[in-house]
Structure 1
Amino acid sequence: MARPKSARDRLVRVTAPIAALCAALLSLGGCIGGDFARRAAGPQADLTPPAAVPGASAPAAPAMPAAGGGERIGAGSVKVALVLPLSGQGSTVGAALRNAAQLAYDEAQQPDLTLLVEDDRGSPDGARDATQEALRQGAEIVLGPLFAGSVQAAAAVARTAGKPVIGFSTDATVANQGVYLLSFLPQPEVDRVVEDAVAGGKRSFAALIPETAYGNAVEAEFREAVARKGARVAAVERYPAGAPGPAVERLARVIAGPGATADALFLPETADAMPAVAAALTKAGFSPARVRPLGTALWNEPALYALPALQGGRFAAPDRVGFSNFSGRYQARFGSVPPRVASLAYDAVLLTAALSRRYGSQRFAAATLTNGSGFAGVDGTFRFRPDGQSERSLAVYEIRNNAATPVSPAPRVLAKPAI
C-alpha cells in the first residue's frame, strides 16, 4: 500500500482543523452553526485540513472505559459506535483507525459526541457482538467495520435497530440501503480514468484483467463506463492471477504493432503483480506511446513508475495533498506513519460531528447522509448514493520519468447525481 510523504514543513494557524469541520458540509455554503461561523476563518474551498503546527492541536480527549468493556472517546450526548478490529486479523490497521478517530475528535474541538469504541476481533461474529453492545449503549450510527463480512454482520444488527452503518470495506457488494461505504471503491476510479481518456481523444479501449474478484468488479464498470462515454471496447482478455503471458499474446493483435486497433489499454492490476504484466506487454511489442495504459489507484505505488510499459500511463486516485497533511499531523501525534485507510475513520468522525451540529434529530437520516452535494474530507469531496456506494472526486495522474504527476485535478464539486 502506497504511503504518501508527510508535509513536514507546512505551518498553518491553529484554527485550521476548525475550518476543516466547517467545510465538511458542502451544501451549507458556509460553516456549521453560529459559534463555528464566528470562530473559523478561511474560504469554503479549503476542503481538507492542512498540516498543523506540531503541538498546537486541541488537548486530547481522555479515553474512558465503556460500560460494556470497550472504550469511550468523549462524553457528548450523541453516541456513535466505532467498530474496529482491535485484536485478531487486521488489528494493526484497526489501531490506526482508532487513532485517526481520536485525532478527528480532538481537531473538531471535542464536539457533542461519545465514540463507543468496540473490538470486532476481526471476524463477523465479533462485529455482530460489538455492534449489539454499542447499540445497547445507545449508539445512533455505526462507523466501521473494516472487512466485508464484518460489515455485513454489523449491518444485520444495525438494520434491525433502524440505525445506519458507514463501513470501511472496499467490497461494493456489501453496500445497501442504510449501509454506506466510505472506502476507496474501484468503480469511481474506473469511471474517472475512462472519462479522462475519452476527453483526451481515446475512442477504442482494450483491457487485460486478472481473474480475481477485483477484476470481476472493475470489468463490469469498465464496460459500462466506456459505453456511457460513447467509445467502444475493442477486446477484453482475462488471465489467471500471476500468469498474464498467454492473454497478452491473444490481445497483441489489438494493442501491439502498426495494426493496433485500440488506443487505450486498461490494466487493473496490483503493484505486486504489475511487473509481470508489464514484462509480458513489452515482450509482445506493446508501445505505451501508441496505446495509452490506464489503471486504478492500485497503481499509486512508486515501484511501478519505472516500468517501461507504463510510461505515459494514467490512473485515477484521490488527491494526495489532503492525506499528506493528515499524515503529518497523525505522525506528530502518534509517532508513526498511518496506513492509507486511516483517513476513512478521520473523515467518518468529522462527518458525524458536522451532521450532529447542523441537523439535530435528522443528523443521521437517510436523506441527510445521501445529500447530493456531498461532503468534504481528507481525500476530497465524497457523497453516499442511496444504494450505499460512494462517489469521490478523484485526480488523474500520469506516470513519466519515475514519477506520477497530476494531469487533471480532483474537482471540488461532484457532478450532479444521475437520475
Structure 2
Amino acid sequence: MAEAALKPQRGKSLFRLAAMAGALVLSACSTLIPRGAPPVQPPPKQPTTSAPAPVEPGIPQDQQRHRVALLVPLSGSNAGVGQSLANATQLALLDTKSEKVRITTYDTAGGAAQAARRAIADGNGLILGPLLSENVRAVAPIARSAHVPVISYSNDVDAAGNGAFIMGYTPNQSIERVVDYAVKSGITQFAGLVPKGLYGERASAAFVRAARDAGGQIVSIQNYDRSRASINAAVGRFPSTSPFQAVLIADSAGTAAVAVPQIRKTAVGGNARVLGTELWNTDSAVGDEAALNGAWFASVPDGLYRQYATKYRTRFGKAPYRLSSIGYDSVLLTVRIAREWPMGRPFPMNALMDKDGFAGLDGAFRFDRNGVAQRMLEVQEIRGGQTVTISPAPRSFANQ
C-alpha cells in the first residue's frame, strides 16, 4: 500500500480534489482559533530514565580497542628493566597515536603463570612479554590453550614456537655477523673464550658454524667459570703453536676487559682483534673499557635508539634500559597488525610471519618459521671511548 501511494496518478481530477480538501481543512482550522489567542503549546515531554549499566568485575570493557597484555616484572630484582619496558610501550602508543590498541600491564614478579591467566580472563587477545625465559615457558602453554599468541622479550630460542615468538637479541646472530665481517676484512684464524653454561654452549656452536660458513678457521675455544682466576687459566690454555688473528669473547664487556690484558701477554694473541657479542650493546659503559679499544661487535643499530632515549629521558626523568627498545618495537608491530585485526576476532598470528619483516628502533626484523626474530645487525668498533659504526645494517630483507 505504501509503495502504491508513491506512484503518480493519472488525470487532474484527483489533484484538484486533494487541493480543495486541503484548502477546506486550513479554512476550518482558521475559524476554530480566535485571532490574537496565544498558540496552543504541546504538553511537556516527561524525561525518560534508564537503569544504570551494571558494574562488571575486572578492567572496564572496551569495544573500540584491541586489548593487549604486557607481562613484565614490576617488583623484585628485575623491576627496573620491567618498568623501563612498560614505559617504552606507553611511549610507543603516544608516538603512534593509535586508537585501536589498549595495553594493560601485569606484574610477573608474583608469578608469570598467574599473571597470564589474569590477562586472558580480562579478555586480552595478545601478550607482550614476559622477559625471562623461564617465565615464557610458564606462560606459553596457558596462552596457547586460549589461542592467544605471545611476543616475548626473551632471547631463549628454545622457548619459541607453538604461538610463542622471541624478540630478544640472540648471540648466534651477532656472532655470525661479526665473524663474517672479520673474514671479509682479511681475518681467517680465530680463537674463542666462552663462559660455561647454556649461553656459552650456544655461543660456541654459533662461533664454529659462523667461522665455517665464512671460510675462517678456529684454532682454539676455551671455557671459564667467570672468575678472574678461571679466565686467566683459560687464556693460558691457548696453544702456543697456534697463533690467531682475532679472539671472540662471548661475555659482557666487563668480563672481556678482564681477559684482554692476559691475552695481550701471550705470544699467540698479542695483536689479535677482540670480538664481542650482542651483550656489549646493552652495556652503556662499554666505551669506558680502555682494554676494549679497537674491538668489534655486532648489534642492532643505535641511531634511532639515541633519539628514543632522549625522548624517554624527557618524559620519565631518567635513562631507559637498552633492552626497552624491544618493548617499543613490539608495540609498533602490534599497531601495524591491528589495522587488519577485526574487533572481536583472534589476533591474526599469520601476520607475524610476513617475510618482508617489520621496522623499529632496532632496525628491520622478522620472525623465522621457529618464531625467533631475525635482525639486521651493524658492526661497531669501540674507538676512543665511543662506539662507531663500521659496517651499517641493511635496511630491509629485500635481498635476503
State the TM-score, normalized to the length of structure 2.
0.78
1:342 corresponds to 2:327: no
1:68 corresponds to 2:58: yes
The verdict on how the C-alpha distance between 1:302 and 1:83 changes in structure 2, with shifts beyond 3 A counting, is closer
Equivalent pairs counted in the alignment come to: 342
Task: Specify the alignment match of 2:69 in structure 1.
Answer: 81
Query: Equivalents in 1 of 2:159, 2:321: separation in Å?
Result: 23
What's the CA shift for 1:380? 0.8
What's the CA shift for 1:168? 0.9
Query: Equivalents in 2 of 1:93, 1:374: separation in Å?
Result: 26
The verdict on how the C-alpha distance between 1:411 and 1:93 changes in structure 2, with shifts beyond 3 A counting, is same
Q: Contact 2:257–2:291 at 8 Å: present in 1 too?
A: no
What's the CA shift for 1:313? 2.0
- Select which of 296, 305, 310 maps to 1:323: 305
- Select which of 406, 410, 415 maps to 2:389: 406
Query: Equivalents in 2 of 1:313, 1:149: separation in Å?
Result: 33
The letter of the residue matching 2:221 is V
The letter of the residue matching 2:315 is R
The verdict on how the C-alpha distance between 1:287 and 1:311 changes in structure 2, with shifts beyond 3 A counting, is farther
Task: Specify the alignment match of 2:278 in structure 1.
Answer: 297
Query: Equivalents in 1 of 2:77, 2:57: separation in Å?
Result: 25
Could you list the per-position Cα deviations for residues 324-371 of structure 1 after superposition, in whole angstroms to 9, with x for gaps in the alignment?
111111111111111111111111112111111145489843431021
Task: Specify the alignment match of 2:79 in structure 1.
Answer: 91
- Select which of 162, 180, 183 maps to 2:147: 162
Give the root-mean-square deviation of aligned CA atoms.
2.6
Q: Contact 1:392–1:414 at 8 Å: present in 2 too?
A: no
Could you list the per-position Cα deviations for residues 9-32 of structure 1 after superposition, in whole angstroms to 9, with x for gaps in the alignment?
xxxxxxxxxxxxxxxxxxxxxxxx
Q: Contact 2:151–2:166 at 8 Å: present in 1 too?
A: yes
Task: Specify the alignment match of 2:41 in structure 1.
Answer: none
State the TM-score, normalized to the length of structure 1.
0.75
Could you list the per-position Cα deviations for residues 357-397 of structure 1 after superposition, in whole angstroms to 9, with x for gaps in the alignment?
14548984343102111100111111111212111111101
Could you list the per-position Cα deviations for residues 91-125 of structure 1 after superposition, in whole angstroms to 9, with x for gaps in the alignment?
222222111111111111132112122222x25xx
Task: Specify the alignment match of 1:251 in structure 2.
Answer: 238
Q: Within 5 A, what are the aligned runs for 1:20-419?
A: 67-68=57-58, 76-120=64-108, 122=109, 126-242=111-227, 243-253=230-240, 260=243, 262-285=244-267, 290-300=271-281, 301=283, 303-305=285-287, 310-358=292-340, 360=342, 364-414=347-397
The verdict on how the C-alpha distance between 1:329 and 1:306 changes in structure 2, with shifts beyond 3 A counting, is closer
What's the CA shift for 1:190? 0.9
Moved over 6 A (4+): none
Q: Contact 1:281–1:309 at 8 Å: present in 2 too?
A: no
The verdict on how the C-alpha distance between 1:227 and 1:92 changes in structure 2, with shifts beyond 3 A counting, is same
Secondary structure in 2 matching 1:375 = coil
Q: Percent identity?
A: 33
What's the CA shift for 1:291? 2.4
The letter of the residue matching 1:99 is N
Query: Equivalents in 2 of 1:331, 1:95: separation in Å?
Result: 14
Higher normalized contact order (CA 8 Å, seq sep 6+, divided by chain length):
1
Query: Equivalents in 2 of 1:110, 1:369: separation in Å?
Result: 19
Q: Contact 1:287–1:309 at 8 Å: present in 2 too?
A: no
Secondary structure in 1 matching 2:254 = coil
Q: Which runs of 5+ in 2 are unaligned?
A: 1-55
The letter of the residue matching 1:95 is Q
Query: Equivalents in 1 of 2:248, 2:360: separation in Å?
Result: 29
The verdict on how the C-alpha distance between 1:162 and 1:317 changes in structure 2, with shifts beyond 3 A counting, is same
